[in-house]
A = this chain, B = another copy of it.
C-alpha cells in the first residue's frame, strides 16, 4: 500500500513549563509522515519549505523511508514559522508568532509518481489547498482523511465545508467538533458533522482519549494517564499519522481495524509528548511501540463476567 501526506513542514519555537526551544523542526506534515512511517513503508509527502530548511532533516525523513519528491524547496524564500507558549495546564497555549512565508502561496503539486497513492492524509492546512490535492489525483484513494482547526472555521468556513464534504474521515479535537457543529454534546456534534460528508469521524480528547464514530457504532478509546506532558506540540498530527500509517499498512477499513488504528495513533501520540518537537519520533524501536500498545490494552481491560443480580 502507500500513503500520501499533505501538510506543513515547518519551524516551531516552543515554550512549556519544562523548557524552551530555539527554532526546531515541526509542522503537521512532518509529524504525520514520521509517525506513519513506523507502519507503512511506502510514504510520500507533499509540502513546501524555504531554502533555510536544514538538509539534515530531509535526510532524516528519507532515512525513515519518506519520499520527498513532493516537498518543494523554494529558493530565496523562508520556511513557515510558528512560535507558541503553553500554559501550566498544557491544555491551552498562546500563539506568539505566525509567519506563513512559503505557505502563503503554496501550490500543492502532485508528482506523477504519487498518483497511485492508495491512502491520503490531509494535515491541517488551508482547506483550498487540501481540496486542490484531491482534485489533482487522477484516481480517488481508498480513504481520504483530513484534519483542520478552528482558525479555518473562523476565516474560511465555506471552503472548509466544501473540503469536508469531499473526504471519508475527519480527525479533529473536541473543541473543534463543538465549534464546527455548534453543538456541545459530542454525540449530537458527531451526527451533524457526519451529515456534512465524512462517513467516519474521530474526535480527539487529549488526555481523555478519543471517540471513533463509524456507522451506528462508537468506540471510546483510552488515553494513557501520563506522569507529565513535556511538549504537546504535534501530538494530534502524530495521532493522525499513526492512525493512517496503520490503516495504509493493513488496508482494512473494518470497524475492528479502525479501532486498532486509533490505539496505534494514541500510542504514537503518547511518545510524541515525551520530548520537544519530533525528537521522540525519529528513532523509536518496534519493541517500544509494542510495549506501549500493551499498556493501552492493560489499562482499558475489564471483564464483566458476572451478571447483574
Contacts and interface: CB of A to CB of B under 8 A. Distances in A.
Contacts of A307: 290
A155 interface: no
A208 B211 contact: no
A88 interface: yes
A225 B218 contact: yes
A220 interface: yes
B225 A186 contact: yes
Interface in A19-46: 38-39
Interface string A276-309: 0000000000100110010011111111101111
* Best-buried of A225, A264, A306 by chain B (most CB within 10 Å): A225
Contacts of A204: none
Stoichiometry (number of copies): 2
B227 A187 contact: yes
A303 B297 CA distance: 8
Interface in A143-181: none
Interface string A92-117: 00000000000000000000000000
A127 to B, nearest CB: 27
B302 A221 contact: yes
A38 B90 CA distance: 41
A298 B220 CA distance: 9
B226 A299 contact: no
A226 B187 contact: yes
10 A-B pairs with least C-beta separation: A208-B208, A220-B222, A259-B302, A220-B299, A187-B227, A289-B308, A187-B225, A290-B308, A286-B308, A218-B299
Given A220-B225, A297-B304, 13 more contacts: A39-B308, A89-B184, A90-B184, A185-B227, A186-B225, A188-B228, A218-B225, A256-B303, A260-B302, A260-B306, A263-B304, A289-B308, A293-B304
